[in-house]
């Protein structure tokens, strides 16, 4: 799965507190206004893709599919075990064990 790495999009310490750190709730609630300062590819997160800005036309579809993938994962499995490694390219997470949900 490919996705944007939040610390790359929130590097400006004049705008974002703890710009180098992943903050899960950074854009929730009142923080949603901060999305106007996030740039992905050739435009702001809050703008819709157009041929003039060359943003990916599927950017909203990618977000939707990632949310559906996570919801399906949590419905199918009761427990997860994973291995976390920090590297020069950023964090790496490998799922090492899954326990199937008893009700699925």
Instruction: Report pLDDT digits (tens) over 36-90.
Output: 888 766 777 788 888 887 777 887 888 899 889 989 999 999 998 999 998 877 7
Q: Report in angstroms the alpha-carbon separations of 95 from 28, 79, 88.
A: 27, 11, 20
Q: Alpha-carbon distance 59 to 70, whole Å?
A: 17
Instruction: Report pLDDT digits (tens) over 57-69.
Output: 887 888 899 889 9
> Model pTM greater than 0.85?
no
């Amino acid at each position: 799965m490919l996705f944007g790495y939040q610390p790359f999009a929130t590097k400006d310490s004049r705008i974002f507190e703890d710009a180098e750190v992943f903050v899960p709730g950074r854009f929730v609630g009142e923080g949603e206004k901060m999305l106007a300062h996030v740039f992905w590819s050739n435009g702001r997160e809050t703008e819709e893709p157009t041929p003039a800005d060359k943003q990916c036309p599927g950017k909203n579809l990618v977000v939707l599919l990632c949310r559906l993938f996570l919801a399906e994962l949590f419905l199918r499995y009761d427990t997860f075990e994973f291995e976390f490694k920090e590297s020069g390219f950023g964090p790496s997470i490998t799922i090492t064990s899954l326990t199937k949900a008893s009700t699925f």
